[in-house]
Amino acid sequence: MIWNEELECMSEDEKKQLQLTRLQDVVKKAYENVPYYRKRFEEIGIKPEDIKTLNDVEMLPFTTKTDLREAYPFGMFAVPEDDIIEVHTSSGTTGKPTVSGYTQTDLEIWSEVMARALAMAGAGRKDFIQNAYGYGLFTGGMGVHYGAQKIGATVVPISAGNTMRQLEIMQDFGTTIITCTPSYALYLAEVAEKEGIRKESIKLKAGIFGAEMWTEEMRKELEKRLNIDALNIYGLTEIIGPGVAMECNDKNGLHISDDHFYPEIIDANTLETLPEGKKGELVLTTLTREGMPIIRFRTKDITALRKGKCSCGRTLIKMDRITGRTDDMLKIRGVIVFPSQIEKALLRIEGLEPHYQIVVTRPHHLDEIEVLVENSEKLFSDEVKHVEEAKKMIEDYIHSEIGLRVNVILVEPQSIPRSEGKAVRVIDKREF
Amino acid sequence: MKLKQISIFLENKKGRLWKALSILKDAGINIRALSIADTSGFGILRLIVPEPEEAKKVLEAGNFVVKVNDVIAIGVPDKPGGLDGILEVLNKSNINVEYLYAFVAKRGEQAMVVLRTEDIDAGIKALEDGGVTILSSEEVYKL
C-alpha cells in the first residue's frame, strides 16, 4: 500500500522541480535565521540566491555532528523557541548530545514520512503496531508512534525491553506489526521458541527493524523464525528521526522520502559528490524542516543511491542497506559504543596501559566484543586465579562504562600495533 | 627457606614459549625447573633459575610481563610415596597448596618439589615442624 501516491510516485521532472524550490527555500531560511549558517555561507562567499539548480547544492557547506554539538542546546533552531513544541536528542555518549527541535509542521512531516514507512510494511487502520522502540529522548519510539496514529492503526506503546510482556501482549492483542531493533527481534523469537509459544498464536505479518546495522542473512533468519516480512528502516535524530528511508516489499534498498530529505553521496576523503550507484558517505539536507533546517549533514553512513521506478511503483530514490560507518562509532546490539569509552574504562584501572584493540564479531547473529588489553606487572601474578580476577575486573569496568559485557583478552605488552597517527582501535569482523 | 621463582605471562599464541626461552638462552641463563599453567586464554610459565633478577630484566627487555615471587623447594626421596608424606603434613596443618611441580634430578636419588602455598611462611613452618627437608637456593641451583 502506498500512503501518498502523489508524492511517492511523482515523475523525475516534477520531483526535481519540487526539490529545487524547497532547497532554495530551506537555504534562505537557514541563512536568514540561523547565525551558524549565515556565518558559514559568508565564509565561503555564497548567498541563497546562488542556488539556481539542484547541482548547486554542492556549493553549500557541510554540517557535521561536531557542528551540531557546538550549537548545543538550541543554537541550530531557525524559529523562536515558542514555536518549538518537541525536542529529542541523540544519545550523547561522546560528550554533549545533539538536540533536534520540532515545530508543529515538523511533527506533521515526521508523521507523514513515518506513515509512508509503516504503509510500506503493509500497515493500515486495522493493524496493531507493537512499538518496541524506546520512548523518550530517543526518536525511535515517538517516530513510529506518530506514523501509526497518522495512519489510524492501533499503536501499542510498549517501548523497549520486558520480553515476556512483549510476547504476552503480542499474543493477547494479536499484534500484526512489530517495530524494534533486529537483534531484539531475534531475541524475541528465541524466547518465544523457548517458551513453547505456538506459531499460530502469533499473528505478526511484518517487522520494521532499524537503529542498528544488519544483514540479509539476519533478514532471512527473522522472516523464517517469526514468519514475517522483515523490513529495514533508516533515520537519524539530526535529520528528523526514523522515517528518513524505508524498505518496501521489494526488499532491495530503502526508499528515501526525497521530497523532504535531499540525499547525496560523497567521497569521505575528497568530499566530492559521487555519481549515482557509487558507494560513499550519505549526506542529507532537510528540504522542509522549519524548526531546525540542516544543510548537507554528513551522516557517516556508507551506502549508494539508486534512481528509477521501483517494482512497488514508487519513484522515491533508493539507498542500499548501510554497510558501514566512516568513523569508528560502533553499534553493538543496538547500543552505541565508542572506542573512547573503552579507553576511559581502561584508564580508570591502575597500572594498566591504555593500549587496546576492539574486535567485533557476530558469531550467532548477535554482536560480540572482544577487547584486547595488554597485561602489565601490576595485573600479573604467578597464580592463574589472580590473572583471571584481573581479567574479570577489566570486564566489569568496561561493562559499567558501556553497559555491555565484553570478553577481555589479555595479551603481551607491545603486542598491539602502535600507530603514529590514528590508531586502529576497532577491527569489525561483522559482515554487513 | 624461600626460593625465588619467576613467572612469565604467555599469550595463547604460537611461538611465545620458544621466544621466552630463547631470550634466556641468549642471556646464558640455565633453567633448573619449569612448569606451565595453561588456561584457554593464556599461560603462565614458571621457572626456577639461578639468576632470577637477571632473567626478569632480559625478559622484560623482550616485552614480557614477569613477576618474581617466593616458593618453597623441598627435597623428596625418589621412591613411591615420597610426595605423599609432604602433602600429608600440609593437609594436617590446613595449608592450601596453590600449585606444585616436581622433577627428578637423577633417577633413584632425590626429587625436587617446588610448591606454592597461599601463605609461604605458614607453609614453611608447617613443613619444618613436620620434619620435611627444605632446600636452600644453593642446593636447588646445584641440582
- Domain regions of chain B by residue span: 3-68, 70-142
Residue-wise burial string across B71-106, b where 16 or more C-beta atoms lie within 10 A, e elsewhere: bbbbbbebeeebbeebeebbeeeebeebbbbbeeee
Query: Is A209 in a helix, a strand, or coil?
Result: strand
Alpha carbons A265 and A305: distance in angstroms, whole number = 7
Q: Which residue has the cell 584493540?
A: A357
Return the number of CB contacts < 8 Å for A and B.
53
Using N-to-C axis directions, what is the helix angle for B120-129 and B82-92, rounded to 10°? 110
Alpha carbons B28 and B31: distance in angstroms, whole number = 10
Tell me the chain B residues in contact with residue A381 when contact means C-beta distances shorter than 8 Å: 7, 67
Are B37 and A384 an interchain contact pair (Cβ–Cβ within 8 Å)? yes
Are B39 and A388 an interchain contact pair (Cβ–Cβ within 8 Å)? yes
Higher model confidence: residue A358 or residue B78? A358
- Provide the β-strand partners of residue A247: A254
Mean pLDDT along residues A153-169:
94
What is the CATH code of the structural domain delimited by B70-142?
Answer: 3.30.2130.10
A414 CB near a chain B CB, below 8 Å? Answer: yes
Grid cell listed for B28? 646464558
- A205: Cα within 13 Å, side-chain hemisphere: 14
Min distance B143 CA to chain A CA atoms (Å): 23
Mean pLDDT along residues B65-76:
93
| Rg from Cα positions in chain B | 16
Tell me the chain A residues in contact with residue B36 when contact means C-beta distances shorter than 8 Å: none
A163 CB near a chain B CB, below 8 Å? Answer: no
Mean pLDDT along residues A60-70:
94
Mean pLDDT of chain A: 91
Are A382 and B42 an interchain contact pair (Cβ–Cβ within 8 Å)? no
For residue A418, the model assigns a pLDDT of 67
A413 CB near a chain B CB, below 8 Å? Answer: yes
B140 CB near a chain A CB, below 8 Å? Answer: no
Higher model confidence: residue A51 or residue B108? A51
Give the pLDDT band of residue A319 (cuts 50, 70, 90). very high
Segment 67-126 of chain B within 8 Å of chain A by CB? 67, 69, 98-99, 116
Q: Is the complex ipTM higher than 0.90?
A: no
For residue B108, the model assigns a pLDDT of 62
Mean pLDDT along residues A77-97:
87
Q: Which residue has the cell 559521487?
A: A274
- Contact A144/A179 with Cβ under 8 angstroms? yes
Give the pLDDT band of residue A80 (cuts 50, 70, 90). very high
A418 CB near a chain B CB, below 8 Å? Answer: no
Tell me the chain A residues in contact with residue B7 when contact means C-beta distances shorter than 8 Å: 380-382
Are B9 and A414 an interchain contact pair (Cβ–Cβ within 8 Å)? no
Which residue in the set A377, A384, A391 is minimally distant from B65, CB to CB?
A377
Higher model confidence: residue A18 or residue B81? A18
Mean pLDDT along residues B37-46:
93
Higher model confidence: residue A332 or residue A394? A394
**DSSP E strands, A308-401:** 318-319, 324-325, 330-332, 335-337, 356-361, 368-374
Mean pLDDT along residues A364-391:
90
- Percent of chain B with pLDDT strictly greater than 90: 69
Q: Which residue has the cell 574504562?
A: A345
A382 CB near a chain B CB, below 8 Å? Answer: yes
Q: Could you check whether B3-68 and B70-142 share the same CATH topology?
A: yes
* Nearest partner of A379 among B53, B5, B45, B66, judged by Cα: B66
- Percent of chain A with pLDDT strictly greater than 90: 71
Tell me the chain A residues in contact with residue B5 when contact means C-beta distances shorter than 8 Å: 382
B5 CB near a chain A CB, below 8 Å? Answer: yes
Are B65 and A412 an interchain contact pair (Cβ–Cβ within 8 Å)? yes
Query: Which structural domains are found in chain A, ordered by start?
Result: 7-15+59-327 (3.40.50.12780), 331-428 (3.30.300.30)
What is the CATH code of the structural domain delimited by B3-68?
Answer: 3.30.2130.10
- Percent of chain B with pLDDT strictly greater than 70: 98
Higher model confidence: residue A53 or residue A181? A53
Grid cell listed for A261? 530529505
Which residue in the set A381, A409, A415 is minimally distant from B67, CB to CB?
A381
Tell me the chain B residues in contact with residue A384 when contact means C-beta distances shorter than 8 Å: 37, 39, 44
* Nearest partner of A92 among A349, A341, A398, A404, judged by Cα: A341
Mean pLDDT along residues B10-29:
94
